[in-house]
Chain A
Amino acid sequence: MFELSGIDVRYGAAQVLWDLSLTVAPGEVVAVMGPNGSGKSTVLKVAMGLKRPSGGRVMFDGADLTQAPATARVGAGMSIVLERRRLFPRMSVRENIEIGGFVLPRAEIRRQMDWVLSLFPELRPHMDATAGRLSGGQQQMAAIARGLMAKPRLLLMDEPLLGLSPALQQRVFALMREINDRGVAILFNEQNAKLSFGLSHRGYLLESGRVVLTGSGTQMLDHPEIRRVYLGEAAA
């Protein structure tokens, strides 16, 4: 369904991703985990066409989208929930969600909004509130709702748990499962190994812009290196 192969990315003279490859199969949840500065967010930006790679290929449903802008990728069935939500703070929640369906015909927006809000009943009382006045958790829900408006088959989520309380993190994870159950594949990144690999079918561990480990969610959680470095367990 989705494939990054041999991706190199540079910011000026600094290279931040090196020969990176990953895949997402239909209906899969895939996590990209790594410490700060490992290039996790850049992976998602490249996937969405918000950052051009200096080398490598981006494929989606057999089409080469390497040079395609974000506009084309949304049309092809991809969508992203950006880091720190990036809601439009002066628009209402309704408007924020509505503009997520930018590529949809007008008649379809209402139908899709009804579908999206069935996932987020907690947003209904706040639809006319300004997005900037929502709590962090509500903002994250609104951002995910916005991301789902374009009817994606692959949803990219950049640090969806950032800044949320443990209870809200669990709520967002439950939502991600529900979204996935409705047939949407998810590629997300996260710093918390236990949460990332606990939810995902497969995972990738990134260090300094390179994939250093990959496997199923369970394999990743059981890997001694991850247990030692990222879960803080003492070496046997």
Chain B
Amino acid sequence: MTEMLGRRPALTLLLLIAVLAVIPFVVTNPYYLHVLTIFLLFAIFASGWNLTLGILGLKTLGHHAFFALGAYGSAMLSHYAGVSPWATIWVGAGIAALAGLLIGVPILRIRSMPHVAIVTLAFAEIIRLVLANLKDWTRGELGFWGIDAMPALNLGGTVVEFGTGKPFGSYLLALAFFAGVHALLLVVLRGRIGLTLVAMRDSELAAESLAVDLTRWKLGVFAFSAAIVGLSGALYAHYIQILTPTSTVGPEMLVTLLAMIIVGGVGRFTGPILGALLLTVVGEALREFGDYRMLLYGGIVMLFVLGAPRGLAGWLALIGRRRAA
């Protein structure tokens, strides 16, 4: 469990949240705050996906579909039905969880991990095509614009606004959800649930022999993971306020988020957070290179994978162990 959670994970998370909480009061440049808001939302996405990909060991490649379902579900419900985004973001997470259960049932029948990867990838492509073709509702690749921002909150006389062009409030909102989701994940993973997931990943036979109902556990974790990713999608939708099928469930989203998990450290609690921070910042910093951006991005990812095959979190843990020795 130490390998998955690292040493003193609660303290690490608390310190990280404390540092992140100070940032909007120090950094006033709205663009920097926007980049960091995207990092926080992608960190939630990556940590949710890491639950099945790294911690449970199910090689799924379709979690960006849950992101899109959460995003479009929440955005469409608030736009067409006039429901407050404060409520629809949870519906978006619920839609993603339900989709996770539906796709989870056939996936659990497949023993071969490459086949699981292909089936989930195909599922994501189906979702992309459906969103692209339901033009009357989603406006397809023209973009579903005019999405409501999260309604402003009055916090003791101070009105905090969210959405595009409101970097301070948006950042704090993303940070609040980042903190909540990661605290929840930590509580879940520290206890018997975490042990059970690691047991299932390391030896399904041994876990089953200890009375772990593999099917129920896998389905439950898959739905929980999808719900977290769906929630990040819903928050993204009400922050960016425009969605296209390609930007939410296209191949670039898949590669970017997968790279965040791999570079950060697959199966490690802090891995997706570190990966999301590094690659969101690097991705933005490379924008000035125009057409060469993705080439450089890929090169940097390769360098990290070769230099730190267990990810940044694994590399930091190794340094910590060497210092302690």
| CB-defined contacts of A95 to chain B, threshold 8 Å | 1, 195
Chain A: residues with CB nearer than 8 A to chain B? 48, 50, 69-71, 74-75, 79-80, 82, 86-92, 95, 98-100, 102-103, 106, 146, 150
Q: Tell me which residues from 207 to 237 in chain B have a Cβ below 8 Å from any Cβ of chain A.
A: 208-213
| CB-defined contacts of A70 to chain B, threshold 8 Å | 208-209, 211
B3 to chain A: closest CB distance in Å?
A: 5
Contact of A99 among B3, B4, B199, B205 (CB under 8 A): B199
A49 to chain B: closest CB distance in Å?
A: 8
Quick check: is B12 within 8 A (CB to CB) of the other chain? Answer: no
Q: When the two chains form their complex, are residues B212 and A102 in contact, meaning their CB atoms are under 8 A apart?
A: yes
B192 to chain A: closest CB distance in Å?
A: 8
> Assuming the A-B contacts A90-B3, A91-B198, A102-B196, are A75 and B205 also in contact, with contact meaning beta carbons closer than 8 angstroms in the complex?
no
Q: When the two chains form their complex, are residues B205 and A150 in contact, meaning their CB atoms are under 8 A apart?
A: no
| CB-defined contacts of B212 to chain A, threshold 8 Å | 71, 102
> Assuming the A-B contacts A69-B213, A75-B211, A86-B205, are A99 and B196 also in contact, with contact meaning beta carbons closer than 8 angstroms in the complex?
yes
Q: When the two chains form their complex, are residues B209 and A82 in contact, meaning their CB atoms are under 8 A apart?
A: yes
Q: When the two chains form their complex, are residues B1 and A91 in contact, meaning their CB atoms are under 8 A apart?
A: yes
Quick check: is B29 within 8 A (CB to CB) of the other chain? Answer: no
| CB-defined contacts of A79 to chain B, threshold 8 Å | 209
| CB-defined contacts of B192 to chain A, threshold 8 Å | 99, 102, 106
Q: When the two chains form their complex, are residues B202 and A102 in contact, meaning their CB atoms are under 8 A apart?
A: no
Which chain A residue shows the least CB distance to B203? A86
Which chain B residue shows the least CB distance to A146? B210
Q: When the two chains form their complex, are residues A88 and B208 in contact, meaning their CB atoms are under 8 A apart?
A: no
Quick check: is B2 within 8 A (CB to CB) of the other chain? Answer: yes
Interface residue count for B (Cβ, 8 Å)? 19
Q: When the two chains form their complex, are residues A99 and B210 in contact, meaning their CB atoms are under 8 A apart?
A: yes
With the chains together, A74 CA to B211 CA distance in Å? 6
| CB-defined contacts of B213 to chain A, threshold 8 Å | 69, 71
Quick check: is B316 within 8 A (CB to CB) of the other chain? Answer: no
> Assuming the A-B contacts A88-B203, A92-B1, are A150 and B210 also in contact, with contact meaning beta carbons closer than 8 angstroms in the complex?
yes
Q: Tell me which residues from 65 to 109 in chain B have a Cβ below 8 Å from any Cβ of chain A.
A: none
With the chains together, A103 CA to B212 CA distance in Å? 9
> Assuming the A-B contacts A89-B202, A95-B1, are A103 and B211 also in contact, with contact meaning beta carbons closer than 8 angstroms in the complex?
yes
B310 to chain A: closest CB distance in Å?
A: 12
* Contact string against A for B residues 181-206, beta-carbon threshold 8 Å, 1 for contact and 0 otherwise: 00000000000100110110011011
Chain B: residues with CB nearer than 8 A to chain A? 1-4, 192, 195-196, 198-199, 202-203, 205-206, 208-213
| CB-defined contacts of A146 to chain B, threshold 8 Å | 210
Which chain A residue shows the least CB distance to B202? A88
> Can you list 19 A-B pairs, Cβ within 8 angstroms, ordered by A?
A48-B209, A50-B208, A69-B213, A71-B212, A74-B210, A74-B211, A82-B206, A86-B203, A88-B199, A88-B202, A88-B203, A91-B1, A91-B199, A99-B192, A99-B196, A99-B199, A100-B210, A102-B212, A103-B211
| CB-defined contacts of A90 to chain B, threshold 8 Å | 3-4, 198, 202
With the chains together, A71 CA to B195 CA distance in Å? 17
With the chains together, A183 CA to B196 CA distance in Å? 29
Instruction: Please give me the 6 A-B residue pairs with the lowest Cβ-Cβ distance, nearest first.
Output: A74-B211, A86-B206, A71-B211, A88-B202, A99-B195, A102-B210
With the chains together, A48 CA to B195 CA distance in Å? 22
| CB-defined contacts of B205 to chain A, threshold 8 Å | 50, 82, 86
B197 to chain A: closest CB distance in Å?
A: 11
With the chains together, A65 CA to B213 CA distance in Å? 16
Which chain B residue shows the least CB distance to A69? B213
A72 to chain B: closest CB distance in Å?
A: 8
A140 to chain B: closest CB distance in Å?
A: 14
| CB-defined contacts of A91 to chain B, threshold 8 Å | 1, 195, 198-199, 202
| CB-defined contacts of A89 to chain B, threshold 8 Å | 202
| CB-defined contacts of A71 to chain B, threshold 8 Å | 208, 211-213
| CB-defined contacts of B208 to chain A, threshold 8 Å | 50, 69-71
A69 to chain B: closest CB distance in Å?
A: 7
With the chains together, A172 CA to B206 CA distance in Å? 20
With the chains together, A70 CA to B196 CA distance in Å? 15
